[in-house]
């Protein structure tokens, strides 16, 4: 139901002709969720790095685009069955995209402030199963534009079969996904499955703020939301 707010004309003139409504429309902001049945690579932040155990700190980032300002509420990724189901937190890193690959250092990706709680469920398509890793209850406001987004669960590699992040069947949109190995401080973002180029499965959900409709008549201004 519309709500109408009436103001004297003199006060109304001091207001902009278009205002940003406090309400917003729920939306899928970015959707690359058609995961591949077999391909992928590790996307995890282990307690430590070891060539013997295979534990590592590999953070995969996708490039995404928003035509309008958004408020991110949920980020989801898809992984294969393995040790990812034991994870209860992840690093969520979002940064403006300024080129075909990120340039930020590993220490910025693994900031303590980037740690968020996650939950996991399973998704079955035909004979294939994936783990849906969900980082919800976010409230991240971003202007329209291009961004790198990385959601990396915190867990050790475990025993075979290992969890790997799923790539998509739809091909690359924009630039291919990149990975940084954060076992040491560096800013070397690589192709996860070089020389092949892939995008990794990710869906971002949230709100798209909508402008209020403002109308003036007879010395009275009403703003509809």
Which residues 6+ apart lie within 8 Å of 20 measured at CB?
A: 209, 211, 212
User: How far apart, in whole angstroms, are the C-alpha atoms of residue 79 and residue 70?
Assistant: 26
170-188: per-residue pLDDT in tens? 999 999 999 999 999 999 9
Q: How far is CA 204 from CA 7, 40, 67, 90, 200, in A?
A: 39, 20, 14, 15, 13
Cis peptide before 15 (omega within 30 of 0): no
The pTM score is: 0.83
pLDDT of 130 > 90? The answer is yes
Among all chains, which residue has been given the structure tokens 């075979």? Answer: 160
33-37, 123-127, 219-223: range with lowest mean pLDDT: 219-223
Structure tokens, 216: 């003036």
Give the closest residue to 153 by CA, choosing from 105, 117, 108.
117
Q: Binning pLDDT at 50, 70 and 90, where does residue 211 land?
A: low
pLDDT of 68 > 60? The answer is yes
Cis peptide before 209 (omega within 30 of 0): no
15-38: per-residue pLDDT in tens? 333 334 444 557 999 999 999 998
Q: Binning pLDDT at 50, 70 and 90, where does residue 10 land?
A: very low
């Amino acid at each position: 139901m519309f709500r109408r707010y009436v103001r004297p004309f003199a006060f109304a003139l001091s207001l902009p002709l278009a205002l940003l409504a406090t309400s917003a429309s729920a939306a899928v902001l970015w959707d690359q969720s058609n995961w591949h049945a077999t391909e992928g690579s590790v996307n995890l932040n282990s307690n430590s790095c070891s060539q013997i155990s295979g534990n590592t700190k590999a953070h995969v980032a996708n490039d995404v685009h928003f035509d309008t300002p958004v408020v991110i509420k949920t980020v989801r990724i898809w992984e294969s069955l393995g040790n990812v189901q034991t994870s209860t937190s992840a690093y969520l890193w979002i940064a403006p995209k300024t080129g075909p690959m990120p340039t930020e250092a590993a220490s910025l990706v693994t900031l303590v402030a980037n740690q968020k709680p996650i939950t996991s469920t399973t998704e079955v398509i035909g004979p294939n199963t994936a783990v849906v890793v969900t980082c919800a209850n976010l409230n991240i406001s971003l202007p329209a534009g291009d961004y790198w987004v990385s959601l990396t669960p915190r867990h050790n590699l475990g025993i075979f079969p290992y969890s790997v992040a799923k790539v998509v069947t739809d091909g690359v949109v924009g630039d291919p996904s990149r990975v940084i190995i954060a076992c040491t401080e560096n800013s070397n973002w690589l192709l996860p499955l070089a020389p092949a180029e892939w995008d990794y499965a990710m869906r971002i959900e949230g709100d798209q703020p909508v402008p209020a409709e403002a109308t003036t008549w007879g010395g009275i201004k009403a703003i509809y939301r």
